[in-house]
Every structure is written in C-alpha cells, then in structure tokens.
Amino acid sequence: MNMAVVGNVLATAIASDDLAPQELEQSSSTKTGDAGNDAGPNRLYAVEPEGTSFSEQIFNSLVGLKVAVSQYAMHLSHAERHRIFAELDSVINVDDWHEGDELPKIAAFQDFLKWMIYSKYNKWLSLGVSDTGHLLVAWKTPRVLLTGEFSGATSQDAVKWTAQIKSDKGETGYTVGKCPLRLFASQALFYLDQAARHAA
C-alpha cells in the first residue's frame, strides 16, 4: 500500500475539516486532477505515482472517498458516516474491480455528500459507480424509485436522474431529467417527500 499517497490525502482532509455550511457552494466545483492545476483549499487530490499496483489504486481510492466523508463530518451523524463507510467497503474492493475499470471520481462522491446536506435527506438505498467513474445512488419509497448519477461537474447537468412512480391504482409512470446539484436537492424531495406524505 502506498502510504505516501494516503498521508497526502489525509493531510488534505485535516486541512479542510472545518468546512462550514456557507462554504459548500464554494466547494461545489471540487474535482480530482493533477496537483499542478488551480487547487483551491477545498480541493481533494489523489494522484497515483507511476508504478502503483491496481490493488494499491483500489486502496487509495477507498481511502480518498472516506477522507471526503471526513471533510463533511460536522454535517453528518456518526451513524450516517458509519453507514457510508460500510457501503464503500462493500463497493470498493479488489475482488469486484479489474484492471482498466474507472475508479470513482472523488468530486462526484463529494457532490453526493453535499446533496445530503442541502436536502437533509439521508435515506438512500444503495451506492454504485458507473463505467465513467460517476457515483450512482438509489432511493426508494413505497411509491417511488429514484436514481441519481452524480458526475462531479459544475455544469447544468451535474446530476442525471430517473424516477419510477406508482399510482394508487397500480399504474406506473417514468420521468427523467438532469440539473445542477442544488436544484436536484429540491427536485428529488419533490418525489421522495410527496410519496412519503401520500403513503402516510
């Protein structure tokens, strides 16, 4: 395991651990990339040195994602952090990944964490990774199955989402969309909260 990389990542997290709610919007453009780029105080980089084995890359990716959680620790309960860590351990492991697979983008994962803070909704069902490194998230209520793909981009289509909705009569409807991160916080709650209130 490349402990130098781990140390650099942890040092970045410690420096950013006092992230306040008003700083969330400023950090919404966080991306992974080369250290030579314009790196603001809330950017998190995990640069793999030449010759790093694939198993080390998997380990470093997992550490980077968990460090990202620590950046937002003050906004997440202990139980929620533990739940996210357990899901990451299940998803990011040597047995399920192969050489050439696109590892998850830290910026995409950070956007999911920020989405939870914006929406104050943490009842996600599962986490996954697309073949382009985007973070895939699913939420489910008795009447709605919602999925979101967080890209980590700052564009108007930062999040792509789908919703499957069931009516009282058992009819099923589908809708899809794409929008900026903050807008998806309200868009998702439109489906999730409305369905929960209707079921109650």
Range of the domain at 159: 3-199
- Over residues 126-143, mean pLDDT: 96
> pTM for the whole thing?
0.74
Mind listing the pLDDT tens digit for each residue in 16-33? 333 333 344 333 333 333
pLDDT tier at 170, thresholds 50, 70, 90: confident
Q: What are phi and psi of 166, to 5 degrees?
A: -110, 135
User: Which residue is it, tokens 């009569």?
Assistant: 169
How is residue 192 written in tokens?
A: 């999730």
CB 106 within 8 A of CB 92: no
At residue 50, what is the residue type?
E
Mind listing the pLDDT tens digit for each residue in 81-123? 999 999 999 999 999 999 989 999 999 999 999 999 999 999 9
DSSP string, 150-180: E----STTSEEEEEEEE-TTS-EEEEEEEE-
pLDDT for the residue numbered 51 = 62
Mind listing the pLDDT tens digit for each residue in 25-84? 333 333 333 333 333 334 444 455 556 798 999 999 999 999 999 999 999 999 999 999
pLDDT tier at 168, thresholds 50, 70, 90: confident
Domain count, the chain: 1
Sheet holding 144-150, edge to edge: 124-129, 135-140, 144-150, 159-166, 172-179
- Over residues 116-145, mean pLDDT: 95
